Homo-oligomer: A and B are copies of this chain.
């Protein structure tokens, strides 16, 4: 398991699953997808805990989306499986991530049929904490992820609520594009997303059986 800074340096793409928790789909008035869909964030958006605040570009409504992230451990191409233990072999370790989103830019893009890359891709728009050893998360579909803003809980749900589980995600992505060692997959966000403004402090984390996992603690302004 590499240090977080080398995970950042070696990541070439960040693939994010959209609309993967039913209540989050509803809160943004989106249609529930019939199959997983995904989009890219640039690796240049990865942001380490010691790198300062997340940017709030002017004119941009900046939303948080806490997500369980997977660091890919080996090349994954055309994976065809529903078998969890087989799919999990492609996982090196986990990170906790915030998929920061320029929501008004994304809304405009959706209206005009334009790509999401700008809305999702600003520098600092992917804060990460970790890594969390694979051995520590025996079941990635049974952890709780949460995010607080200024001490107030905004998101807090089990990854068991994912509409499409990790094997399906890896399978669908890898049939379009090869996942390479070091790539990161963000597995979607539960309900409760919302805006942060300059000065707000986000604290995110992960619990297993009610116990906080220390290395997943993420605190960013």
Contact = CB atoms under 8 A, between A and B. Distances in A.
Interface of A: 12-13, 15, 18, 31, 37-40, 42-45, 57, 77, 109-118, 121-123, 176-180
Contacts of A45: 177
A118 B176 CA distance: 7
A114 B37 contact: yes
5 nearest A-B residue pairs (beta carbon): A110-B113, A39-B115, A115-B116, A39-B117, A40-B40
A110 B114 CA distance: 6
A44 B178 contact: yes
A176 B122 contact: yes
A77 B55 CA distance: 14
Contacts of A12: 12-13, 42-44
A118 B175 CA distance: 10
Contacts of A42: 12-13, 40, 177
A57 B57 CA distance: 38
Contacts of A177: 42, 44-45, 121-123
